Structure 1
Amino acid sequence: MSKIVIKIGTGVLTRESDGLLDRAALARLVTAVADLVKSGVPCVLVSSGAVGAGISQLGLSDYPADVRTRQACAAVGQTRLMHAYESLFNNFELSVAQLLLTADDFRDPARLGRVQDTLGRLAEAPQIVPIINENDSVAVEELSMGDNDMLSARVAELIGASQLILLSNIDGLYAPSSNEVISDVENLEDVLGFIRADKGKFSIGGMASKLKAVKVALDSGVPTVIAHGKHPERLLEITQGSGLCTRFHP
């Protein structure tokens, strides 16, 4: 079965008040992903949260404005994030693998081939869940202008994923001037004007970032979903074609 790529946003993994890891939310999310993997749906996670997870450790109360401090937060937070994932997935007899990537890994054919080989080999071990993040502690340009929405779309394209699920702190794309979630989008151009200012306090991306990533995924033939990451119990329904979310069709 082709893998599903699940992108987990910072707003899903950290508390809005202080940027600390929301361990209860993470535990629910891991449980839902583990259930998918155990049922025969292989998953690759693209996980944000490293910078947010490191903010409190450096004594900060807000998302740092300078790159130097963001890199330091990422260096501290990435270890905390992976330790949390490893501990939680171990409860389901699953292991994790970490891949830290930059845009250069996708620009250089030789490096891209090695990433593809690594993910291909990990795909032969169904008890391992690959967890990918941007290498924020060194990727200066990418940290300033990139995000994991686009990274997840590139990963989905690279491995020929059957579906890309972007988990955020909203239920999906809302119709203008309402709280009604648009369930299906056949033409992305029709909804580009529906973007709202929804970026979280500790996040880099927002809906504009997500729709750029959606376009990349759709152009490579990967159906894409935007859904609420604080409700991971919906994941199974979403992978089966139902559930509260916005679906974008290639």
Structure 2
Amino acid sequence: MATLSAARRVVIKIGSALLVDRTTGALRADWLLGLAQDVSWLKGLGIDVVLVSSGSIALGRGVLGLPPTTLALEQSQAAAAVGQIRLARAYEEVLAPHMITTAQVLVTLEDSADRRRYLNSRATMEQLLSLGVVPIVNENDTVATDEIRYGDNDRLAAQIAVTVGADQLILLSDVDGLYSANPSIDPTATRFDVIDTITAEIEAMAGDAGSGLSKGGMKTKVMAARTATAAGCTMAITEGSVLRPLTALENGANATWFTAQIDPASARKLWITAMKPRGSVTLDDGAVAALTRGKSLLPAGVRAVAGPFERGDAIAIQEPSGRVLGAGLSRYSSDEINLIKGRKSAEIEELLGYPARAALIHRDDMAV
């Protein structure tokens, strides 16, 4: 069974029902302080931490005096706008005493469905984590409509785990795992400690009821597990209302662990190689040698480009002989590469007329 302290990079999803008091609509300050202690503990172990937090609408509706019933879209967006700033400030205030810098990251479904936006999100998150920052991620409820919504933060958390290459995803919930039946109704229901394969039978056991403040039920959690484990990320569902929920999980608290059969880097490379290339770049011998040593591809090493393709598209990487060396996600369009091929990274801005990234294909977006 996995342990939290063994993670390299962990995404933690926090539900509204844990963060916001249902009766008063106020933040559970003592719980948030305990979570901050847990995050500090993980950071002290050298683990990268990303928090995917619900709560903006629940906080905002209380401030605006909106009813505790289903809100119209424009009411939800207004509540999110008011609540989001309070949510971000709350995280900043509880983590700052631990010398932890926070960042607010608001996303929509389009940011992962569109490969250009996906690459932008991935690069930004990677930079934040490399600087020791804890990103606080939430759906951008102030602008998201039904067509571009995740709709629940379980699946959002899974997508963020995929984006940042996390090896563990922890869903802090109001239940302590997946049961064979609803334990509040069926006294014979048993909890699964470990699930290695998500079968149709497992999916059928997942209920669909959410708590009063959250939109997700067990069904969305199992869907999140399918996404996460396919990308090499182990996932846990555990009861999060205790004051130090991550410490409790490390010490053996009840949970269901969904195991990944492959590591995130290998899963990502399999995903890239499964894409149909939209074009190709041909390299010089020096670039081929650099890539085989695990380096990123720089414009200086490109001799020729075949397209057309756009930023974010998968392209083939070819040796001077034309033999395919691998594939990767291009950070430039074919037209842009034609302008910068064979040139040094320091020249890119002058050639293109705008600032751009040094790598043409980053090593994390490449399968050689």
TM-score relative to the length of structure 2? 0.63
Contact 2:229/2:259 (<8 A) preserved: yes
Report the Cα offset of residue 17 of structure 1. 2.1
Task: Report if the CA contact (8 A) 2:108-2:148 is conserved.
Answer: no
Matched AA of 2:192: I
Deviations 1:178-202 (A, max 9, x none): 4643211122223222233541111
Give 1:79's aligned amino acid: I
**Once structures 1 and 2 are overlaid, which stretch shifts more, 142-151 or 73-82?**
142-151
- Higher fraction of helix: 1
Deviations 1:204-233 (CA, angstroms, capped at 9, x unpaired) = 111111111111111212111001121253
Superimposed CA distance per residue, residues 111-154 of structure 1 (whole angstroms, 9 cap, x where no aligned partner): 1111111111112112x211111101100116866211111111
1:207 aligns with 2:218: yes
1:186 to 178, 193, 196: 196
**Counterpart in 2 of 1:113?**
119
Q: Any conservation in 1 of the 2:35–2:245 contact (CA below 8 Å)?
A: no
AA partner of residue 152 (structure 2): D
Match of 1:168 among 168, 173, 183: 173
Correspondence for 2:108 among 76, 98, 102: 102
AA of the residue aligned to 1:188: I
Which deviations, in whole Å up to 9, do the C-alpha atoms of 1:59-116 show, x marking residues without a partner? 1240433111010110000011011100000111111011100111112211111111
Give deviations 1:155-195, integer Å, cap 9, x for gaps.
Answer: 11112111011111111112322464321112222322223
Matches of 2:21 and 2:246, distance apart in 1:
21
Alignment of 1:233-248 (within 5 A): 233-236=244-247, 238=249, 242-248=252-258
Do the aligned residues in 2 keep the contact of 1:52 with 1:63 (CA within 8 Å)? no
Identity %: 35
Q: Flag the 1:244–1:80 CA change in 2: closer, same or farther, 3 A.
A: same
TM-score, structure 1 as length reference: 0.91
1:56 aligns with 2:59: no
Q: How large is the Cα RMSD of the aligned pairs?
A: 2.0
Structure 2 unaligned spans of 5+: 1-6, 261-368
In the alignment of these two chains, the number of paired residues is 248
CA distance in 1, matches of 2:93, 2:171: 23
Aligned equivalent of 1:149, options 154, 158, 164: 154
Q: Is the 8 A contact 2:195 2:256 kept in 1?
A: yes
* Residues in 2 aligned to 1:184 and 1:228: alpha-carbon distance in whole angstroms: 15
> Which range moves more in the overlay, 66-75 or 228-237?
228-237
Question: Which residue of the partner structure matches residue 226 of structure 1?
Answer: 237
